[in-house]
Amino acid sequence: MGKKALAPYRIFAGRLLTSTALGLFGYFINCYPVPLFSNIELVLGNTLILLCASRLGPYYTLWCAALAISGLAQAWGHHYVYLTYGLEALVVCLLRRRGWYLLYADLFYWCFLGMPITALVILQFFTIPVDYQFFTVVKQGFNGFLYTALASLISLLIPSGWFRLIRQQPNVLRTFRQKLVHAVLVMLSLVFIGSMLVASRNLVITQQQLLAFNLNERSAHLVHEYQRYLDFHQRAVLNASQWLLRGVYEDEWQGALEQLHRQYPGYLTMLMTDSTGRITQASPSHLMAGNPVLSVADRNYFKVPMTEGRPYISALLQGRGFGQDPIVAISAPILGEDLQPVGIVEGSLDLTHIANDTNHSHWGEVAMVLTDSESRVIYASEILKLNVFSPFEFLKLKEVEGFDLSLMNIHSTSSSVGEYFYHHTTLANGWRLYVMLPYRPLAERLEAYYMLGIGLLVIGMVLATLLARQIGAYLTSPLEFLVRKLMQRQQSEDPLSRLPALPRGSALEVRTLYDELETNRSALRAYQHSLEELVATRTAQLEAANAKLAQLAHRDGLTGAYNRRYFDQQFETARQHCVRGEGQLGLALIDIDHFKAINDNHGHLVGDDCLKSLVTLIQNHFTRKLDLLARYGGEEFVLLLPHSRPEELIPKLETLRRKVADSPLSFTADGEPLHVTVSIGLFVAEPEFSTVQTDWILAADTALYQAKQGGRNRLCLADSTTQDTETVRSV
């Protein structure tokens, strides 16, 4: 009594403990999604949710899902996953309760609910680019199919006794064919998806290696060019500061400065000052017009050379006096005879010539940003649409492990999808160079690869389904055939009759079972016969003699059909029966087409098999007790059909004609099936049409002749008034 009262609590505790353990394990796995590329990650912890759904009910499945999905929400920082994956757990659990396989249930969910809901969530709550949204949605469905296939495989491999005491989902009785198709699809899905993930991972690594090499190479080249550009112009200013005082008279400084400016067009302007910072010379010279007194004493490019006696490269400045252009000032002190600074020479570098904006690669257009030591934009490629002087702000998404490569967003800092791969380098003067390649081309390649893979997976699943069904049919059809025939024999008058031959191509194991059944049948048959012989030996002999006499008197010895003599005896009886019943009488002549060629080409034994098989087909097709089949000639049979109308007989005879054409009546010496056709002449009339049998035979024979003349393998109906014929069907 006590144990029975505690059983429900133990079952509840077992289910709760199992769902909790699976949920916690799924939580741990979901905390570490498997990265593919960019923000694309694989979720494998949900495998435990579906495993719970395959065995337990909805409440325990939802509890397991709440635990496992919490790890994913923590890793991604989004709570919409409770909606999509929680609904997935509920739908799959309910479909499992209705007998669905896990694989089919989850495929149904993602196709009709999961991906549409994910698309709506992305549109509502995320700032993902439009051209990336479709792939994100498809990736979620692909991910779901992956962990569902994994859960299905684990479910198949788990011993049935593990969940026997706490199981809530029903055990569904399935056919071997259904199980085979499901197992093949599970294995195909896992192998194909696993192969595609490995190949895509290798593709991503290769592409990232090439991309990192390209960025590093371009970055090194640009750093070299920028440094050379700055050194070149700095040497010009430094050289000028040395020879202006020593080799050139002061009244010639203006002309020398202009000549120097012409030699270095990379400067927007050049100027010279005295020791107080007042500009004394400038190039172009017209800049001094209207500005007799200009001073740069407050600029660092004046202070540093004057106080420290060394060249100086400024941060980004905005020009004044000579224009409002953004400039970088390069200056050097002019040293007097006592080696003390008496002024400076300065050049304002033209930033529009500092980089070339025509760099391209097969990943897209290469973009560049050059910033000063204060992270203000000195130069930016036009495609970036960044303003000079503006602070260079970007969102660093993630670093690509194993490569000197990172992802950044410049324009959309709220998007989780990267805009550019980038590599940055610091120049000797504190400037920073960012070289960027767009992320989208690489993502498009991988998207195309995944879409192609998904398409091939769908095609593979269709082909695998067809192949598995074919294999299942090959294995189970002979068994189904045996079971069906055994059931028919149990309902027949002679349940111990010989089993029909197995279909061609049956498996060896099935044939072994068939031989064993046939051996047992023979033994039972022999035992039955021995008992019957003991109680009625003479009765059996008499019945056998009578049966043999009746066979000789009324049956055709080869085919087992009635003979012509018996037909002649029964014709008038059948006609009188129709007169009394006011029904029509039908008479059909059936002739095998080209029967002589069959005997000539394949031998009389094959011809005899065709005759016997044809009789069997006709007798199985016309089963009324009133119907009478007789062999009228060599390959000609007559079918007497009382109380029949043309609209009934025509389709029935047409069905017989097609069945004969479609069924092999015998086999050649090589074992190949032999197909034949028949021509049929039909005559249906009131029984008062004639009391002479030959009139009826002649009318049907005329229709048969028309069928032969019309190409054979057809049925012709004779008119009951004019005895003309009309073709009912032509083949």
* Tens of pLDDT, residues 404-413: 677 888 876 6
Least confident of 152-161, 488-497, 656-665, 713-722: 488-497
Confidence bin at 1 (pLDDT 50/70/90): very low
Query: What per-residue confidence (pLDDT) applies to 92?
Result: 93
The CATH number of domain 554-729 is 1.10.1750.10: no
pLDDT at 2: 42
Distance between CA atoms of residues 189 and 222, nearest Å: 48
Note the CATH number of domain 14-173: 1.10.1760.20
| Higher per-residue pLDDT: 721 or 224 | 224
Average pLDDT of 3-20? 77
721 Cβ neighbours under 8 A, 6+ residues apart: none
- Give the burial string for 108-123 (b: 16+ CB within 10 Å, else e): ebbeeebbebbbebbe
Considering only 267-281, 345-359, 427-441, 445-459, which range has the smallest mean pLDDT?
A: 345-359
Q: What is the mean pLDDT of residues 542-559?
A: 75
Q: Looking at residue 686, what is its pLDDT? A: 92
The answer to whether the pTM exceeds 0.75 is: no
Secondary structure, 3-state, 341-355: EEEEEEEEEEHHHCC
Q: Enter the tokens of residue 291.
A: 């500005």
Asked if 436 and 394 touch (Cβ cutoff 8 Å), the reply is no
> Taking residues 630-649, what's their average pLDDT?
90
Q: How confident is the model at residue 467 (pLDDT cuts 50, 70, 90)?
A: confident
Query: What is the spatial distance between Cα 572 and Cα 612, in angstroms, rounded to a whole number?
Result: 27
Nearest to 255 by CA among 268, 275, 270: 270
Three-state SS at 164: coil
User: What one-character DSSP code corresponds to residue 584?
Assistant: -
pLDDT for the residue 727: 40
Q: How far is CA 27 from CA 74, 81, 84, 642, in A?
A: 10, 13, 16, 79
Answer whether residue 535 shows pLDDT above 80: no
HSE-CB for 634 with a 13 A CA cutoff: 9
Judge contact between 424 and 433, C-beta under 8 A: yes
d(CA 312, CA 309): 9
Domain range annotation of the chain: 14-173, 248-353, 554-729
Count the residues in the chain.
731
pLDDT in tens, 210-224: 888 888 888 888 888
- Nearest in space to 90 (alpha carbons), one of 103, 107, 105: 105
How far apart, in whole angstroms, are the C-alpha atoms of residue 351 and residue 216? 23
Instruction: Please report the pLDDT score of residue 521 as a whole number.
Output: 74
pLDDT of residue 542: 73
**Residue 401 reports pLDDT greater than 70:** no
By three-state DSSP, how is residue 471 classified? helix
Question: Mean pLDDT across the stretch 452-464?
Answer: 81
By the 8 A CB rule, do 133 and 122 touch?
Answer: yes
CATH code that applies to domain 248-353:
3.30.450.20
Residues 28-72 have pLDDT tens digits of 999 988 877 666 778 889 999 999 999 899 999 999 999 999 998
Which amino acid appears at position 306 of this protein?
M
Q: Give the C-alpha separation, 357 to 367, whole Å.
A: 8
* Alpha helix (H) residue ranges in 663-721: 693-709
Quote the CA–CA distance of 696 and 713 in Å, as a whole number.
22
pLDDT band at 243 (very low <50, low <70, confident <90, very high): confident
The segment with the largest mean pLDDT, out of 117-131, 203-217, 253-267, 525-539, is 253-267
Q: What is the DSSP code (8-state) at residue 111?
A: I
The pLDDT value given to residue 617:
93
Is the link from the previous residue into 284 a cis peptide, with omega within 30 of 0?
yes
pLDDT of residue 184: 86
Q: Residues 280-299: what's their mean pLDDT?
A: 78
Q: Provide the pLDDT confidence category of residue 450 given band limits of 50, 70 and 90.
A: confident
The pLDDT score that the predictor gives to residue 400 is 65
**Unique residue bearing structure tokens 């800049």:** 287
Among 111, 122, 114, 119, which Cα is nearest to 89's? 114
Taking the C-alpha atoms of residue 370 and residue 353, their distance in angstroms, rounded to an integer, is 13
Cα–Cα distance list, 253 to 246, 322, 544 (Å): 11, 19, 145
Query: Both tokens of residue 8?
Result: 């429900």
Looking at the DSSP bridge assignments, the partners of residue 275 are none
Q: What is the pLDDT of residue 93?
A: 92
Q: Say if residues 315 and 371 touch (Cβ distance below 8 Å).
A: no
3-state secondary structure of 637: strand
The one-character DSSP state at 360 is E
The closest of 341, 321, 18 to 166, measured between CA atoms, is 18
Give me the phi and psi of 307, to 5 degrees please: -90, -35
CB within 8 A of 50, min separation 6: which ones?
89, 92, 102, 106, 147, 148, 151, 152
586 beta partners:
641, 684
| pLDDT greater than 60 at residue 416 | yes
- pLDDT recorded at residue 17: 93
Q: In the predicted model, what is the mean pLDDT of residues 540-559?
A: 74
What is residue 497's predicted lDDT score, i.e. its pLDDT?
66
pLDDT digits (tens, 9 = 90+) for 347-360: 888 777 666 544 55
Handedness of CA 436, 439, 444, 446 (dihedral sign): positive
How much is the pLDDT for 229? 83
Residue 101 in contact with residue 152, Cβ under 8 Å?
A: yes
* pLDDT surpassing 80 at residue 623: yes
Give 115-142 pLDDT, tens digit per residue.
899 888 888 877 776 667 777 888 888 8
Mean pLDDT of 214-240: 84
Confidence grade of residue 240 (pLDDT, cut at 50, 70, 90): confident
Q: Where are the beta strands (DSSP E) in 457-548?
A: none
Residue 691 has pLDDT above 60, yes or no: yes
Structure tokens at 689: 């049409």
* Burial (0-12, 13-18, 19+ Cβ within 10 Å), 537: exposed
Question: For 565-595, how does the pLDDT look when each residue is reduced to its tens digit (9 = 90+)?
Answer: 889 888 998 999 999 988 899 999 999 998 8
Q: Residue 704: its pLDDT value, please?
A: 92
The mean pLDDT value of the chain amounts to 82
Confidence of residue 730 (pLDDT cuts 50, 70, 90): very low
Instruction: Determine whether 614 is exposed, middle or buried from the number of CB atoms within 10 Å of its CB (0-12, 13-18, 19+).
Output: buried
Closest CA to 115 of 85, 156, 89, 148: 85
Percentage of residues in the chain with pLDDT exceeding 70?
Answer: 87
Report d(CA 223, CA 218) in Å as an integer.
8
C-beta separation of 682 from 590 below 8 A: no
Residue with tokens 């044809």: 614
What pLDDT was estimated at residue 247?
66
Is there a contact between 718 and 699 (Cβ–Cβ < 8 Å)?
yes
Band of the pLDDT at 731, cuts 50, 70, 90?
A: very low
